[in-house]
Amino acid sequence: MIKSVFSFGNGAAVLDDDKLCVCIVDNDGNKKICGKTLKKTKKILNFPLIRGLFYYFYGFYIYINSYFLGLSIGVNNQRIKKLNIFSSFIIFLAILISAFLVGLVIFNFLPSFILNRLIEYEISYYLKSFIISLLKTGFLVAIFAVLKFCPFMNGIYSFNGAGCIMLNKKSEKEALMWRNYPLNFLNFLLNVSILSSFVISLVAIKIFWALDVVINLAIYFACVILVYEFLHFATFTKHTWLKDITMITNFFVCNRPKTTHIEVLRVIKKEMTSYQDFECIDGELVPLSFVYAEMETKLRTFDRYEPSDVDWIICNVLGKNRAEVKLCRGISKKDYSEIMRCCDRKAKGEPLSSIFGFVDFYGLRFDVNKKVLSPRMETEILVEEVIKKVKENSFESILDLCTGSGAIAVTLAKFTDCKVTASDISKQALAVAEGNAKKNDVKVEFVCSDLFNGLKKTKKYDIIVSNPPYIKRSDIEKLDVEVKNYDPKLALDGGEDGLVFYKKITRNAPEKLSRGGYLFFEIGEGQRQDVEKMLLDEGFEDIKVVKDYNKIERIIYGRKRT
């Protein structure tokens, strides 16, 4: 059976193969999860024609299971819980009987009564059957239209809309997905009701009451099969127009979901993909799947969602690595509050390095503050390229210009045997860098210097590496709030054209490089040609460019001509 969503007033359930997972929202707004593993269904039941009947009966079975499973975690007191389950079962039977009686009146006696009142003269049997079938179908559609706008159905239809979002994997915009999954169970039942009502009324079998019942049931289940096959084809076909047609009926059983409805489905999705068992979470713990879902929703709202950021926040608050977090089912309410506090700050544009005061770089941890630029993942590529050259040529000395937090210098000192010197014009930045060298147990010579001016004039280096400021001055205010509000302007401002530091460094680097030494730069997007020309003009050769993870030319280096 394909993955299916079953919605009810205060939650939803998802069936995936033999896993049934339920998430409800209690009266206090808390989300509770539980589930169970069902007996696997035989594959033969997924064959065309047979699968439609299976989906129909198994769907009702799952609906009842989901409802009582949700009820079992929605109430804490065991006596009340048993009473509610029994009471709910009685109410459920009462509703079924009432619906049958109402349906009997509306779909059998009322259409005939109206027809006899409106049409006084005799009409043909077939025309009369056709008109009655239209009337019955019209009444049915009218009932669903009324239910659509009833407050007590709003939750069911909203959770169903959220389910369509989860099931419709091909679409990316949630606003367009909420009723664009034809084969949801409520839409399936609606289409079966409409088609069977029309066909049975049109055929109007009148032989013997017992035989009539058998024939009408046969017609009904034939409609079940036809509707399922049609909706199945519409769901998985590439013809979008066919799927759009099914949205006409889907409108009656889907509402645009709100944040809570989407979160519930994300909780279930995370729970089903992360864990093998479905034991209920302790009431004192917040399910980790809910934490992930709520963080995703909040960060997506502000267009700041990155799965790695969510993992990073959770891991650091809990003091666990990713493998340990995956084994964790629930967290304390205190940890939950701290995680969401960090998530709120991230949603407002504050970088993780500022929230926690440190950042991981190349497997090492570096303290950062507003006096230094937080090292980026792309800069790890620069470090990696430098390490390769050191090993290829057995180099012994490295100079890191504009060191900032010291991430480049400390990492190179940690993973090579070179003597590393690092310089920066900012004394505050050097203080941070020195602290990071001590924390990572490496020896680096730090010098307060405006590029080469404060260095020993006779000292030469095998490699000079720099990640200098390279943002155009006029573009700084256009940067994302995470950069412009939290990174120091001194570490961003590359002058009017963004190339000021490249010009100064390239011009003076040959005098400070050993014979056959290399000059490495991290560059901004679109700066490759200008920096490459500078290197060529100053006598560098064997110039290479390396792209970052986003295929942007990010690293450039060249060898001093011998």
Confidence band for 307, pLDDT divided at 50, 70 and 90:
confident
As a whole number, the mean pLDDT across the chain is 82
Residues 6+ apart with CB under 8 A from 48: 229
**What was the pLDDT predicted at 123?**
67
Q: With a cut of 80, say whether residue 97 has pLDDT above it.
A: no
Starting at the earlier edge strand, list the strands of the sheet with 4-8: 4-8, 11-16, 19-25, 31-37
Right CATH for 370-560 from 3.40.50.150, 2.60.40.10, 3.40.50.720, 3.20.20.70:
3.40.50.150
How far is residue 327's CA from residue 481's CA, in Å, rounded to a whole number? 35
How far is residue 530's CA from residue 114's CA, in Å, rounded to a whole number? 84
Nearest CA among 171, 170, 147, 138 for reference residue 254: 147
How far is residue 485's CA from residue 358's CA, in Å, rounded to a whole number? 17
Write out pLDDT tens, residues 156-198.
Answer: 888 888 888 888 765 445 555 666 788 889 999 899 988 988 8
Confidence band for 128, pLDDT divided at 50, 70 and 90:
confident
How far is residue 141's CA from residue 219's CA, in Å, rounded to a whole number? 20
The DSSP code sequence of 418-457 is: -EEEEEES-HHHHHHHHHHHHHTT---EEEE-STTTTS-T
Write out pLDDT tens, residues 390-401.
Answer: 999 999 999 999
3-state secondary structure of 101: helix
Q: With a cut of 80, say whether residue 39 has pLDDT above it.
A: no
Handedness of CA 60, 63, 67, 68 (dihedral sign): positive
Tokens representing 390? Answer: 């050191």
3-state secondary structure of 5: strand
Write out pLDDT tens, residues 515-547.
Answer: 999 999 999 989 999 999 999 999 999 999 999
Mean pLDDT is lowest, of 179-193, 234-248, 372-386, 433-447, for 234-248
Residues 6+ apart with CB under 8 A from 150: none
The burial of 365, by beta-carbon neighbours within 10 Å (0-12 exposed, 13-18 middle, 19 or more buried), is given as exposed
Residues 6+ apart with CB under 8 A from 463: 386, 389, 390, 395, 397, 398, 399, 418, 517, 518, 519, 520
Mean pLDDT is lowest, of 122-131, 294-303, 423-432, 543-552, for 122-131
How far is residue 3's CA from residue 263's CA, in Å, rounded to a whole number? 18
The burial of 39, by beta-carbon neighbours within 10 Å (0-12 exposed, 13-18 middle, 19 or more buried), is given as exposed
Q: How long, in residues, is the chain?
A: 562
Tokens representing 513? Answer: 């490089």
Instruction: Between 323 and 512, name the one with better pLDDT.
Output: 512
**What was the pLDDT predicted at 91?**
56
Which residue bears the tokens 């909040």?
298
Q: With a cut of 80, say whether residue 273 has pLDDT above it.
A: no
Percent over 90 (pLDDT), the chain: 31
How far is residue 8's CA from residue 6's CA, in Å, rounded to a whole number? 7
Mean pLDDT of 297-304: 85
The alpha-helical segments, DSSP class H, found in 185-239 are 185-203, 209-236
**What was the pLDDT predicted at 172?**
46
Q: What is the DSSP letter of 14?
A: E
Instruction: Between 481 and 55, name the one with better pLDDT.
Output: 55
Q: With a cut of 70, say whether residue 114 has pLDDT above it.
A: no
In the CATH scheme, what is the code of domain 281-348? Answer: 1.10.8
**What was the pLDDT predicted at 82?**
46
**What was the pLDDT predicted at 78?**
45
**What was the pLDDT predicted at 81?**
45
Percent over 70 (pLDDT), the chain: 84
Mean pLDDT of 44-54: 79
Nearest CA among 477, 511, 472 for reference residue 494: 472
Going from N- to C-terminal start, the domains of the chain cover 4-27+39-260, 281-348, 370-560
How far is residue 70's CA from residue 116's CA, in Å, rounded to a whole number? 48
**What was the pLDDT predicted at 341?**
93
Tokens representing 231? Answer: 């909706």
Write out pLDDT tens, residues 458-492.
Answer: 899 999 999 998 888 877 777 777 777 777 777 77
Tell me how crowded residue 316 is: count the other CB atoms within 10 A of its CB: 17
Q: With a cut of 50, say whether residue 262 has pLDDT above it.
A: yes
Confidence band for 77, pLDDT divided at 50, 70 and 90:
very low
pTM score > 0.75 for this model? no
Q: With a cut of 50, say whether residue 79 has pLDDT above it.
A: no
Burial profile 493-504: b = 16 or more Cβ within 10 angstroms, e = fewer:
bbbeebbbbbeb
Residue 25 backbone phi and psi in degrees, to 5: -110, 115
Instruction: Between 78 and 377, name the one with better pLDDT.
Output: 377
